[in-house]
Structure 1
């Protein structure tokens, strides 16, 4: 279940074992965070971290890389075997010690086949006799995951949403008490605020979801409002006592957007919400306010103003060049699945909108794609000789995002973007697009992207010319 505190537990376990010098490695999957939503960096990341914890592995990993320098691009099974399992099996067995590996939110890995492969490979770590390897995995009980666990008996399982409300309530009480103490101290509020009765009410409304308790605290502590007024508004909002748990968590936040607006203002606010927050929750990787302004072709001030009301569900840095992030994916889930709500986000239509934004950015005559976009002196310049600052100077964050993810959004739109909208771009900018991918260091992804494009809209690239 979303919001039960899985990632919080993972972070706590990782922190405690790091303090004991027993954390071997960790990887936190996160949907919508680029490479963190994919398994392609999982085993290489775990290997790199293990080398710091167990230096004796370095020699064996170096030998594996010398034997196959391209191992990082091979299948997950080959990476796991050559970079993790075989080096661990080669270690001296005289002094076995414990190593903990934490893998969080496995369900947020984008490829279901990769999820099953990972779960089938991990138990082989128990073959290592020189180290007692223990792996802590959190996940929602999604279909690709349940069958693998059901077929094996080499694990222990705790189902958070099956814990008694008494146990969960005790933990949420401790969390809310601590957070409200910090709010009181930070905002110079009376020691008796908010009172035991109010705290008990909030605890009952939050159980069994930690994300509800977390959102309550962020809502009340919004720096642009007075905490007493925010808490009173929350307690008096009917949405906090009716509907689903997710309704009670997120509707009060969303309804603040329309408070006091007339019919015309409501229409504008809803549209701005879908043009900003609706886009943010479906981005393949987070973008800054400045990049969002260019991508969506909306004024930066409008985006900043609209995001100001979502402090409790979004991380919006003061630096407008830093990415805006979701605080919890359950907010995305809620907006995509809520019924009959003006805040519901249509995934297909929004992906269509983002794909068309990307095409517009890449087609832009001033800041879009063009031949030799970085003004290099020689077409034979090697990638490693090109300064990253030069690339970022000539390819804005919005343009780089558009080049890397326009086909992904086109595919996710499920036919809402057609060949006539794509073909003119390919005719004019196909080679420029490949050049940009090369400058960005992701040209290896081009073949897969082209295959995806042809499946999505049936464009035959053999007729494309520039």
Structure 2
């Protein structure tokens, strides 16, 4: 603090290869991730050209909680059938926007992250997705994404979003015979948020690719017993009613 004002400080730690002892390198690499746990200090880490043995050390020092959140955020982004902005990712996954931003901070080189918060987050190239999902990746890094497990998680999350938000006459239309052209687009955007739109359209695709599709099928039928007409209404308003038949046939 200086005269009551916060002073931003930037500290750059470089040239780990100049450390005289191997233990010095390991100590620095062990301590840097811990610095990110300090609430009062903003820390950004970036490692470049670290030898494989040091890189392996870093990855195995990552706390389980960080790995779990990484899978929840990055796994969702690379598995989504259609990209979503941060706010919608947060509402779909139940992970706070702040936590998502923390995970995205160091991934600008592999993810398209716009300053416009309404723009969706997407990988620059499929190679990033392919690497994280490849069956050999667990041997290289604990940040591997289990594709079937992520699909199952997304199935649960999609069903949860629809259960909470779908209802009869969701856009408050004046009558049952209202034509699609007479539906106000602002009303559609307000009542059918991007994450609800996504859930309605893609829940079944995640279900059939999930780890335990039979278990999720039971949950899906329970959902449809209560909300089938609400779901069909939403799909109609979104002008994707033709996909309902395909989804039913898939199940």
Q: Shorter-chain TM-score category?
A: 0.7 to 0.9
Structure 1 residue 418 displacement after superposition? 3.0
Q: Is the 8 A contact 1:351 1:410 kept in 2?
A: yes
1:278 to 75, 87, 92: 75
Q: Higher Cα Rg: structure 1 or 2?
A: 1
Q: Is the 8 A contact 1:291 1:321 kept in 2?
A: no
Q: Is the 8 A contact 1:314 1:326 kept in 2?
A: yes
Higher relative contact order (CA 8 A, sep 6+): 2
Give 1:431's aligned residue. Answer: 229
Mark the runs of 5 or more structure 1 residues left unpaired by the alignment: 1-223, 243-250, 454-466
Cα distance in 2 between the residues matched to 1:400 and 1:279: 16
Q: Is 1:344 paired with 2:181?
A: no
Cα distance in 2 between the residues matched to 1:301 and 1:234: 26
Q: Is 1:296 paired with 2:97?
A: no
Q: Is the 8 A contact 2:155 2:216 kept in 1?
A: no
Cα distance in 1 between the residues matched to 2:64 and 2:217: 32
Q: Is 1:325 paired with 2:125?
A: no
Cα distance in 2 between the residues matched to 1:225 and 1:271: 20
1:356 to 148, 156, 163: 156
1:139-158 alignment to 2 at 5 Å?
A: none
Give 1:14's aligned residue. Answer: none
Q: Is the 8 A contact 2:133 2:146 kept in 1?
A: yes
Runs of 4+ aligned structure 1 residues displaced above 6 Å come to: none
Cα distance in 2 between the residues matched to 1:350 and 1:418: 13
Cα distance in 1 between the residues matched to 2:173 and 2:237: 11
Q: Is the 8 A contact 2:67 2:143 kept in 1?
A: yes
Cα distance in 2 between the residues matched to 1:285 and 1:449: 17
1:234 to 44, 48, 61: 48
Give 1:100's aligned residue. Answer: none
1:33-432 alignment to 2 at 5 Å?
A: 233-235=47-49, 237-239=50-52, 266-337=63-134, 338-340=137-139, 341-364=141-164, 368-413=165-210, 415-416=212-213, 417-432=215-230
3-state SS of paired residue (1:234): coil
Cα distance in 1 between the residues matched to 2:115 and 2:217: 40
Cα distance in 1 between the residues matched to 2:60 and 2:250: 45
Structure 1 residue 420 displacement after superposition? 2.7
Give 1:160's aligned residue. Answer: none
Structure 1 residue 339 displacement after superposition? 3.4
Q: What is the aligned length? A: 206
Cα distance in 2 between the residues matched to 1:327 and 1:380: 44
Structure 1 residue 414 displacement after superposition? 5.0
Structure 1 residue 394 displacement after superposition? 0.6
Q: CA RMSD in A?
A: 2.5
User: TM-score if structure 1 supplies the norm length?
Assistant: 0.42
Structure 1 residue 402 displacement after superposition? 0.1
Mark the runs of 5 or more structure 2 residues left unpaired by the alignment: 1-41
Cα distance in 2 between the residues matched to 1:346 and 1:414: 9
